[in-house]
Structures are given as structure tokens and as C-alpha cells.
Chain A
Amino acid sequence: MAEMVANRITDIGPPKYDEMWPEIIKNNYGKWLHHEILEPGVLVHVAESGDKLYTVRCGATRLMTTHMVEDYCKIADEFCGGYFRFTTRNNVEFMVTSTEKLEGLKKALAAAGNMPIGGTGHSVTNIVHTQGWVHCHTPAIDASGPVKSVMDALFDYFTSMKLPAQVRIALACCLNMCGAVHCSDIAILGVHRKPPVIEHSHLDKMCEIPTTIASCPTAAIKPSKVDDFKSVAVNADRCMYCGNCYTMCPAMPLADADGDGIAIMVGGKVSNSKCMPKFSKLAIPYIPNEPPRWESTVKAITTILEAYVSGAKRYERIGEWIERIGWERFFDVTGFEFTKRHIDDYRFAATTWRTSTQFKW
């Protein structure tokens, strides 16, 4: 193991978080008094010492070139002493200590053209999303494409704060649900509609058959001998096209141009304010994949958002609004069709059915 192990440095972890703090954050760590949103995308934090920290938040595409990062660095060098940071929703934040610098920074960001200021308060901020067709092998939809289309349509909500509460949108390109789709106000999820194709001739060579069988949540897979090959059989009636078996076994692909598409879910949240965190629930079971602009998906999300804006009370998240008016009203006001696909039928499904006579016609 000569050269592979020689001089190898391991287990050093990330650099310590405070190594890259601006001076003002170092000085006032743990001593902040209050903060204020001055305008969409601009925050001010005031410390006990009277120090003021202005933060400008910019939308970012998450997938970016080193040139883009260099552009961020140039702005940070010019206005922020070389410091900037990324948020948990992949926005970029630049921090300055005076209003003069703040004005200069805002002008420079506007001049850049690809650093839109916004994402604070009751807005639609960045979309947490995944790899899609850029890099992953199990997606049912693309990630970067639909995200760009949706943010284009909702851009006005990014640069303003006119919603009843913040609206978190997330996208995952398969139901592995990397990211936050299961707990977002609006979630875009890639789904399949056809069972996997089984490549019998080499399944046993590439796959661990027991692992593949155990990967199925509905027990639709069983071992089987096909033309003298050790393989598996899929009971199509039990298969719900989750694609877990393909994750475990490369000989069971199920991506399909016509079958794959988008499911929209609504009403999730992670914060503890007012009510407990919620899972998002199914609103639309299937919208076809429409690259490059995903028009039907964009239209559906706009419909949800507009119904929410006109129906919700102040501070009400989408999930709280729907639970107040009732799900039957939600389908009323959005005009979405309610189908048998919306009715839970997995294991403890009965807990989600209505066991009451309370209902609005």
C-alpha cells in the first residue's frame, strides 16, 4: 500500500467555523439584541455594544461554476472584507457594517444581474432541490430545470414580502426525497408510473437478490428462476413504482419518458411555531414531465400560491391554512381534482381517513 497510504492526511474534519467569521461577528458572538428586516433581502442585527450588522441575501442557483463563486468573492472583497456565507437554502449572504457600504453593495449586486436580492420574511425564498438529470441515476424528473421555471414564475414573491407567511418550496427528483419535500409548504416530487424492467440475464451477477427483495416496501418482489437464470419476479399488482429495488439492483431500471412525472404535495413545515411540525400531503398525484419549462407544474404551484394568498390569515403557513378551512375546501378553491390516488392505502392508512361526521359540502 506504498504510495496510496504514504503521506495521507485523514480525519481532520472541516475547518473550525469561527475561522471565517467577519470581525464584527467575532466581537458580538452571543450578544445580539434584536434584528429587523429593512426591506426584502436586507437585514440589520444590532448588538449589545451598539454594533450594527447589515446582511444582504441573494438568490443563488446552488449548481454553480467556479467563475460564479469567483464573482461572489470579488463582491465580498470589495465590500465585506472578503467574507460571505451560504444559507441553509443555498442563498448567498453578504455582510457589511455601515449604511454607505450597504448602498454600494446593493448597487453592485444589482449591476451583476445574476444576484437578485430577496428571500427574507414572508416571501418565497430559494427552492431546496436535488441532482435530477444532471448527476443522479434514479431520478424521475429533472431538478435544476423545474426549479428555474418555478422561480421565474414566482420571482415577484422572492423580491417582496407580501405573503401571509413564508412559503418553503422544495423539489426532489425521486421519492428518496433527498432534501425537504416531506416537510415543505409546497413540494415537487418526481414519481414513476411503471414497474421496473427486469434484466434477467445478468441480474444475479450484478445484484444481491436478498437485498433487492428486502428493499420492496410492499413485498412485490420474490426470487424466481427465468430461463435458467437466477433472478426475481415482480408482482405488478403490488408494485407502486417507488424504485427502491433499482437503487439496490442496477438490473431493474424503471425510468420511463412517458410514465415519469411530478407529484405536488402541500402543507408541510418544520418549525414549532403555533402548531407542531407537519408532513406535506398529496395535492396532485401526477403532472407530466414537460421539459424545458414544465408549464403545467408552474401553473399548479401558482394556483396553490394564489389561493393561499387570498384565503389565509396573517402568519398562517399553507398547512395551517388548509387545516383551518378543511381539505375538501382546499380542493374547492384550487380546483384540483380529488381522486382515489389521494386516499392513503399504506399500512397505517386508517389513521388518515375521516372518522367523524364533520364535513363541509
Chain B
Amino acid sequence: MPTVTFKGKTYEVDEDGFLQDPESWDEDFAYYVKEEEGISELTDEHWKVIRYLQEYYKKNGIAPMVRIMTKVTGYKLKQIYELFPSGPGKGACKMAGLAKPTGCV
């Protein structure tokens, strides 16, 4: 399994850079993804989305549907893309340490 080292910490990731084990997530991993995704800085808005995704995943065992995420955070999909240029799946879920989206994507 490939690993990435960031700020002296090592994370196990898959070939797309998703965290292998959600338990190993910490804030520094979000900063690692920020670099990878070319996001200039993590604002409170970013953290609001990340925290919400983690909270929903912990409670329900799945990532929220886009409509639920936009309804609860109050950010429209367009704003989510402004925050996370790769989108809610490849951008936000990866940053939050959630499992990689599956299915016919």
C-alpha cells in the first residue's frame, strides 16, 4: 500500500490519495489534501463541510447525499465546488478522510 508523509507523519493511502483507514485521520491530513488539491487556504467554510461530513459518516456509516450536505451546510453545490475544486467526492470526502466513493462514478 502506498503511503504519504506530511509534516513528519505517515498516512496509508490508496492510489487516488484516499485515506485507507478513517481512524487515522487528523487535521494535518486535511492540510496534505489541501496541497494536493491546490487549495490556497483552509477557511472556516472548508472546516464546516469537513466536520459535517465526518459527523454524518460517524452517525450513519455513509457519506451524505449531495442534497443533504447542501441543505445542512447551507452551501449550494456551486459554492462547494468553489471551496473544493474537485467536488464533494474527490475533494471534500477525501479531505475529511471518508472512504472513497464507489459505484459507476
Chain A residues engaging chain B, CB cutoff 8 angstroms: 1-5, 176, 202, 205-211, 247-250
Quote the shortest CB–CB distance from A47 to chain B (angstroms).
42
Closest chain B residue to A205, Cβ basis: B21
Taking the nearest CB of chain B, how far is it from the CB of A248, in angstroms? 5
> Chain B residues near A206 (CB, 8 Å)?
20, 99-100
Residues of B near A205 (CB, < 8 A) are 20-23, 99
Q: A4-B37, A205-B23 are in contact. List 5 more A-B contacts (CB 8 A).
A: A1-B85, A4-B38, A5-B85, A208-B63, A247-B104
Which residues 85-105 in B have Cβ within 8 Å of A in the complex? 85, 99-100, 102-104
**Would you call B74 an interface residue if the criterion is a C-beta within 8 Å of the partner chain's C-beta atoms?**
no
Taking a contact as CB atoms under 8 Å apart, the answer to whether A3 and B38 are in contact is yes
Across-interface contacts of B20 in A (CB, < 8 A)? 202, 205-206
In the complex, chain A residues whose CB is within 8 Å of the CB of B102: 207-208, 211, 247-250
Instruction: Provide the residues of chain A in CB contact with B39, threshold 8 Å.
Output: 1
| A176 vs B104: C-alpha distance when bound (angstroms) | 10
B61:A209 contact, CB within 8 angstroms:
yes
The dominant DSSP class at the B interface is: loop
A210 contacts B37, CB within 8 Å? no
Rounded to whole angstroms, the CA-CA distance of A4 and B40 in the bound complex is 10
Provide the B12-56 mask, 1 if CB < 8 A to any CB of A, else 0.
Answer: 000000001111000000000000011110000000000000000
Q: Which A residues touch B85, using CB under 8 A?
A: 1, 4-5
> What's the Cα separation between A3 and B38 when bound, in Å?
7
Residue of B nearest to A223 (CB): B61
Smallest CB–CB gap between A202 and chain B, Å? 8
Asked if B5 is an interface residue, CB under 8 A from chain A, the answer is no
B81 to chain A, nearest CB (A): 10
B4 interface residue per 8 A CB criterion: no
Q: How far is the CB of A293 from chain B (nearest CB, A)?
A: 30
**How far is B103's CA from A41's CA once the two chains are assembled, in angstroms?**
39
B46 to chain A, nearest CB (A): 11
In the complex, chain B residues whose CB is within 8 Å of the CB of A5: 38, 85
- A208 near B99 with CB under 8 A, answer yes
Residues in chain A near residue B37, CB distance under 8 A: 1, 4
Q: Does B62 contact A (CB under 8 A)?
A: yes
Query: Given A176-B104, A205-B20, A206-B100 in contact, is the A1-B62 Cβ separation under 8 Å?
Result: no
Kindly state the separation between the CA atoms of A250 and B103 in the bound complex, as whole angstroms. 10
Query: B103 contacts which chain A residues (CB < 8 A)?
Result: 247-248
Which residue on A lies nearest to B14, using beta carbons?
Answer: A206
Cα distance A208–B65 when bound, in Å? 13
Nearest-Cβ distance from residue A295 to partner chain B, whole angstroms: 32
Q: Which residue of A lies closest to B82 (CB)?
A: A1
In the complex, what distance in Å separates the CA atom of A76 from the CA atom of B87? 41
B61 & A210 in contact (Cβ 8 Å cutoff): yes
Question: Which chain B residues border A250 with CB–CB below 8 Å?
Answer: 102
A55 vs B85: C-alpha distance when bound (angstroms): 45
Contact in complex: B99, A2 (CB < 8 Å): no
10 interchain pairs, CB-CB under 8 A = A2-B38, A4-B37, A4-B38, A205-B20, A205-B21, A206-B20, A206-B100, A208-B63, A211-B62, A248-B103
Q: How far is the CB of B35 from chain A (nearest CB, A)?
A: 11
- Please give me the residue from chain B that is nearest to A246 by CB atom: B102
Nearest chain B CB to A48's CB is how many angstroms away? Answer: 45
A1→B95 CA distance, assembly (Å)? 14
Q: Would you give the shortest CB distance from A249 to chain B, in whole angstroms?
A: 7
**How many angstroms between the C-alpha atoms of A210 and B102 in the bound complex?**
13
The 3 closest A-B pairs by CB, nearest first: A4-B38, A208-B62, A205-B21
Measured between beta carbons, the chain B residues less than 8 angstroms from A248 are 102-103
Q: Which chain A residues border B61 with CB–CB below 8 Å?
A: 208-210
A1 touches which one: B23, B40, B104 (CB < 8 A)? B40
- CA gap between A182 and B50 in the complex, in Å: 42
Q: What chain A residues lie within 8 Å of B100 (beta carbons)?
A: 206
